[in-house]
Structure formats: C-alpha cells, structure tokens
Amino acid sequence: MRIPGSLKRLAVTVALCCSAPPALAETRSSNIVLIIADDLGVGDVRYLRSGPFATPNLDRLSRESTLFTNAYVTAAVCSPSRAGLHTGRYQARFGHDFNPGSASDQAEMSLPPGVPTIAGRLQRAGYFTGLIGKWHLEGRRAGASPLERGFEHYFGFASGGSYILNPKEGDLLLRTEGEPLERTRSQGFSRMGSPVEIDDYKTDVLNQEALSFLARADSEDRPFFLVLAHHAPHVPLEATKAYVDRVAHIADPRLRAYAAMVTALDDSVGAVLDDLGRRGLKEETLIIFLSDNGCPPYIAGVCSNAPFSGHKRDLGEGGIRSPFLIRWPKGAEGPRVYSKPVISLDLAGTILGAAGLQDQIRDIDGVDLSSHVKASGITPHEALYWRAGTDLAIRKGDWKLIQVDLPQGGRQSFLFDLKRDPGETRNLAPVHSRKVSELEATWRRWNEGNTPSRMQGRVTTTRIAGVEVLARY
C-alpha cells in the first residue's frame, strides 16, 4: 500500500528526533524545490508584464505564491549570482566577483572549501538533496563538484552549451554576435560525475530528470531538497519545432525562438507543480522560483527587463532585478504581494528556516522571509550591496548609488531615487553629494571584511542615465 507523502514526512520528523540536530527535531521539516531560470528578465513573465507570448504556469504559481516586487540577485552575471544563492553569503565575502574571464580564472571559479553550501547544511540535517541542471561553480579545484558540495544526486552541466545537438526539420537554431557556430556540450554534461551525452532538447531532458528525482524522493523516508537549474532562456537561441509551433504567431525569428524557449521553461514549471500535486507533496513543499540575473544586452529587443534600464553584466536595475516567487507550505502562507527590498541571499535563510535549521541562519547574510512577510513594520535589510571588482552599488531605502569607471578615464557616481525613478533615468549625484558620501561610506564599511576578487573578469561598455561607462563582469 502506498503511504501518502505527508504521513511519511511526519514519520521522518518523529524518527529524526533522536538522531538529527536539535533544530531539525523541533520543527517539522518541509520539502524544498528551488527552480532557477537563466537570464530571464523581469519583463518576460506575464504575471509582471504583458507581452507577445504566454507563461501560464508561472502565472499559476504566482497566484499561489507571495510575489516579491522588489527582488534582487547578488550579481549581474551567472557564476557570482549562483555563488551567493548556493551559500546564502555575499560572494564578495570569498572573492567570487565574476564569471571566469581568463584561463587562469578557471581554477578560482570553484567555491572555496571552507564556505558551506545550503545543500551541504540540508544534507547533514538528513535531507535527500539533488541538483538538476546548471552548476557554474566547478573549476579545476578538487572538491568542487556538486556531489562534493552537498548534493547527493547530480545530473547537469558546468556552465552552458547547446540545447539541440542534432537538429530536426522545423527546429529553430540561431546565433547571436560572438557565439561559436558549432553546437557543443563540451562544458561537462554529466550524471553523478560521469560524462554523458543527451540527444533530446535540453530543457525537456532537465524536466524529466527533475520528475525522476521527485519520484525517487517520494520513496525516501526523509525530506528532500531539489534545485532545478534550467539553462533556458540563456543563449544560444534554440528551440524544437514543438515549441516553435506554439509561438508561430511571432514574426521575428529571434523573438520566436526566445518565446519558444521560455514556453519550454514554463512547461517545466507546470510539470513540477503537477507532479508534486499528484504525489500529495505540494502542500508540504516550499516552492521557489527566480532568475539568476537580468536578460542580456546582446538580445535586447528580444528579451525584456522592462520597466527597468540596465541588463545582464551591469549594476542597473535591469541587470540585478529578478522574478521572485515563494509558494509556502500549507499553514505557513504569506501575503499575496511583498514590496520591501529582498535579495536572493534571503532564499538561503528561508530554506534553512523551512528545514528547522533556524540556528544556522546567523551564519549567512540572508534572512528567513517567512517571518518578515508577515511583519509589515520590519524591513529585512538596512541596505543591499553589490561588488564587481571596482564597480559597486548599494541600495538603502529608496536610494541607490552606483560607482563605475568611465571609458576615457576617471570615475563617476550615479544616485537614483528608485521610488520616483525606477528606470534610473535621472542622476541626482550632483545635487545630493552628502547622500552620495553617506552611501559610499556605508558600502566601504561593508566591504572591509570582504576578500579581494579571485578572478579578473571581463570589461564591456554600457550606459547609465545616458552616460557611457565601463561594466565589469
């Protein structure tokens, strides 16, 4: 006879009282599913902004969740953003400012051995942990594999690669400027650490692997933590005919390919929600959705960070804002909308809280949002911080300061009142010099205990409030 998931989890909680850490024994632990999109802009989900393609499953999840309308990630590019997300600590604490910018950077790309991951904390507390998809924190250092950083199960890849290795008639494969023409998954697609090659569409394969993990998790006598880290809709723009046909009304082939990729991502979210529901696990599972950073400038006009300026790679709002949803377990529901500034580090605190590991939250930079969303008078953070080498940003209240270098030399400060100017169009630094000094001093006090970047990064140009500036990533 099949035992319902809720009864099994209750039995596990009772069983753990004699062997698990005290924090886990005191509170019934929730299952946790964390879904990460890659380069998905806040303007590309329909529950936030209308557009030429649909996201019905993300819309459904938003109706069942707390929608965080002032949500940030810790970096404007993938690897440092994931370093913060997987540890709950600002990645500047351990010098992980950039994506690798040179061959020598590859060795430094890994998380330092002494930095605990959320998966490691949960695994030690008795959770069945799994990562499906993109890791992007595995350099050449020993001990950097997800299997060595807290994940009991791993199927995925180190950073990127193609979605379709062997195209069929009707598939749509496009390239953006600077991308290689060849199709490859040479970045290390693997199952449990062993190389593997797949022939089906990458998004579909990751979805099926996630469903397989949930099937196995349902048979385990312990709570589970699943990270489903999709590559979509990161370039290259590739989609199978089945998804392209569903957005055939879009004339622009690049936008059609992107819409098809987001459609596949949205289908995966729906499949996970439906599977949890069929297994009787949905009401006892914390479900989280976000993107690792904003959409990139090299497909601007295809993807969208509207209504914000800035893109992936820069510290404008468009580069560091994220769609951000939390569906709470039954009995822990939060408000429909939460508007105070939060950051991806808070997901670590929220996850630890859901696992009954409240005593470990003091070791991270995030907070447990389950209590903050119900306390209208409390702001989760006095300030939020960003660092990308010499590029810096801080948000405190409605004020945001960005300081970056200029192509012709020198450095410039940009100060914005985000309440009145969320698009960062009017630089108020010249007329509020005292506020600039105050925010810069606050940022420098925060940075005193951080580690200098272990990577070189890259440099590009972007525009902030109409001024051409350098952006390090």
Domain locations in the chain? 5-372, 384-472
pLDDT for 22 equals 37
pLDDT for 433 equals 98
pLDDT for 289 equals 98
Which residues, in sequence order, are bridge partners of residue 129?
225
Q: What is the pLDDT of residues 247-289, one digit of tens each?
A: 999 999 999 999 999 999 999 999 999 999 999 999 999 999 9
pLDDT for 287 equals 98
Q: Look up residue 460 and give its amino acid.
A: T
Q: Which residues of the chain have pLDDT under 70?
A: 1-28, 140, 177-188
Distance CA 244, CA 260 (A): 5
Contacts of 65 (CB under 8 A, 6+ apart): 287, 289, 325, 326, 327, 328
pLDDT for 12 equals 42
Q: Is the dihedral of CA 163, 168, 169, 174 positive or negative?
A: positive
Q: Nearest-CA neighbor of 460 among 305, 313, 299?
A: 313
Q: Look up residue 425 and give its amino acid.
A: T
C-alpha pair distances (Å), 431 with each of 196, 396, 428: 58, 18, 6
Do the domains spanning 5-372 and 384-472 agree at the CATH topology level? no
Architecture of domain 384-472: 2-Layer Sandwich (3.30)
CATH of domain 5-372: 3.40.720.10
Beta strands in 165-244 (DSSP E): 172-174, 190-191, 194-195, 224-229, 237-239
CA torsion, ordered 41, 45, 46, 50, to nearest 10 deg: 10
For the chain, report the end-to-end CA distance as a whole number of angstroms. Answer: 54
Distance CA 38, CA 294 (A): 8
Contacts of 197 (CB under 8 A, 6+ apart): 165, 185, 189
Burial 22-53 (b: 16+ CB within 10 A, else e): ebbbeebbbbbbbbbbbbbbbbbbbbbeebeb
Q: What is the pLDDT of residues 347-384, one digit of tens each?
A: 999 999 999 999 999 999 999 999 999 887 789 999 99
Distance CA 247, CA 259 (A): 7
